[in-house]
Amino acid sequence: MRRDNLRLSTKKRAALKKMSNESGIIAALAIDQRGSLEKMIAAEKGSTTAQEITTFKELVSEELTPFASAILLDPEYGLPASKRRDSDAGLLIAYEKTGYDQATPGRLPDLLPDWSVERIQKAGADAIKFLLYYDVDEDAAINHFKHVFIERIGTECLALDMPFFLELVSYDAGHNDMNSKAYAKQKPHKVIEMMKEFSKPEYFVDVLKVEVPVNMSFVEGFGEDFVFTEKQALAFYKEQSEATDLPFIFLSGGVTAERFQETLRFAKKAGSRFNGVLCGRATWKDGIEPFAREGEEATRSWLKSVGKENLEKLNRVLEVTASSWHDKTK
C-alpha cells in the first residue's frame, strides 16, 4: 500500500521544519559514528579514549552546525556535543546499538539498552534515527524479524509524536565486500526494493535516509571499470525516486566531499526528487588526522576552514539539486 502524501501531525511538522532550511530541504550533518569513529582516531594515533571521541564530536558540532540545518548524534558519546550545537540547528539522536553481531546471520538490529524514544525525547531530540541493515533477498524469517522490529519503533515514535528517520543500508548476505564490482551490479535492486518495503504505512516512517542506488565508482564517466552506462545509472536514480512517496535523504556513505557533490548533481540530472542529505564522513573525516596528531586547536582550525568549506559547497549544491519535503506531505 502506498500513500499519496504523508500526513504529519502539527508537532512532527514543526520538528521537521526545525531540521530543515528555509526551502524545506534537510541539510543535516551526521556524526553518530561510534565504533567506526573509534577505529578512525585509533588508526592515526594507535589508540583512543571515550573522552577523545566525545571531544571530537563536540568540536564538530560547535564549529559546523552554524552551516547545517541539523545534526545527528548518538546518546553514548554525543550528548555533550548536542549542547554545543548552533541554536538554530535541529537534533536527531540515533536509537540503534552500533554495529551488529557478526557471528549471527542477518545483521540483526538491536536497541541501546538504556534508552527509549521517550528518554531520547527528554534528552532534547527533535527526531529519532534508526539504522537497519537489510537484504531484500535474505531468508524470509530474518526479514520478518526486521519488519516487526521496525513496526515497533515506528509505533513508539507515533505514540510520542516524534519524527522517525529510518536509515537503510543494503547488503548481500552471500558476500562481504559491498564495494566490489560484483555487488555494484546488485545494488540498484537491493536499494530500490528495500525503499519500497519500508515506505509501507505499517512502519510509520516519516523520512527515509538511504544510499544512492548505484556505486558511482562503477558508472561510466566516474570510474575506469564500469558496470552501468550513464543512461542506465540515471534510470536507476529515477526509479529510486519513484519507489517511495516518503521524503527521502541521501547518506554520504564515506565517499569524498567532491564525489558526494557530483553524485547529488547526477541525481538531479536523473530527475530524482530527493529532499536533502544527512552527510557524515564526507564532511569531517579529514579532520581526524589533525585531531589525533596535533590536538584541539589544530582541529578547530581545520573545521573552520576545510570543514566549513565542505558544508558550504554542499549547501550550494543542495540549493540546485534537492526538493522540498513539503511537496510530499499534508
Q: What pLDDT, in 10s, does the model give residues 179-237?
A: 999 999 999 999 999 999 999 999 999 999 999 999 999 999 998 899 999 999 999 99
Task: Identify the CA nearest to 204 among candidates 281, 150, 125.
Answer: 150
Percent of the chain with pLDDT over 70: 98
Contact 92, 165 (CB under 8 A): yes
> CA Rg, the chain, in Å?
19
Beta bridge partners of 132: 168
pLDDT tens sequence across 10-54: 999 999 999 999 999 999 999 999 999 999 999 999 999 999 999
Supply the pLDDT for residue 167. 98
In the predicted model, is pLDDT for residue 3 greater than 60? no
Check: CATH 3.20.20.70 for 10-328?
yes
Supply the pLDDT for residue 4. 47
Q: What pLDDT band is residue 2 in, cutting at 50, 70 and 90?
A: very low
Q: Within a 13 Å sphere around the CA of 251, how many CA atoms are in the beta-carbon half?
A: 23
Q: What pLDDT band is residue 264 in, cutting at 50, 70 and 90?
A: very high
Q: What pLDDT band is residue 5 in, cutting at 50, 70 and 90?
A: low
Cell numbers describing residue 218: 562503477
Task: Identify the CA nearest to 92 among candidates 139, 150, 22, 29.
Answer: 29
Calculate mean pLDDT across residues 242-264.
Answer: 95
Contact 270, 234 (CB under 8 A): yes
Calculate mean pLDDT across residues 277-288.
Answer: 94
What is the residue extent of each domain of the chain?
Answer: 10-328
Calculate mean pLDDT across residues 140-167.
Answer: 98
Calculate mean pLDDT across residues 175-182.
Answer: 90
Supply the pLDDT for residue 176. 80
Calculate mean pLDDT across residues 145-157.
Answer: 98
Percent of the chain with pLDDT over 90: 93
Task: Identify the CA nearest to 6 among candidates 134, 165, 176.
Answer: 165
What pTM value is reported for the model? 0.96
Average pLDDT across the chain, whole number? 95
In the predicted model, is pLDDT for residue 261 greater than 70? yes
Give CA–CA dist 245/238, Å, rounded: 13
Contacts of 223 (CB under 8 A, 6+ apart): 216, 217
Supply the pLDDT for residue 285. 94
In the predicted model, is pLDDT for residue 1 greater than 60? no
Cα-based distances in Å from 154 to 157, 205, 210: 5, 6, 17
Calculate mean pLDDT across residues 285-297.
Answer: 96
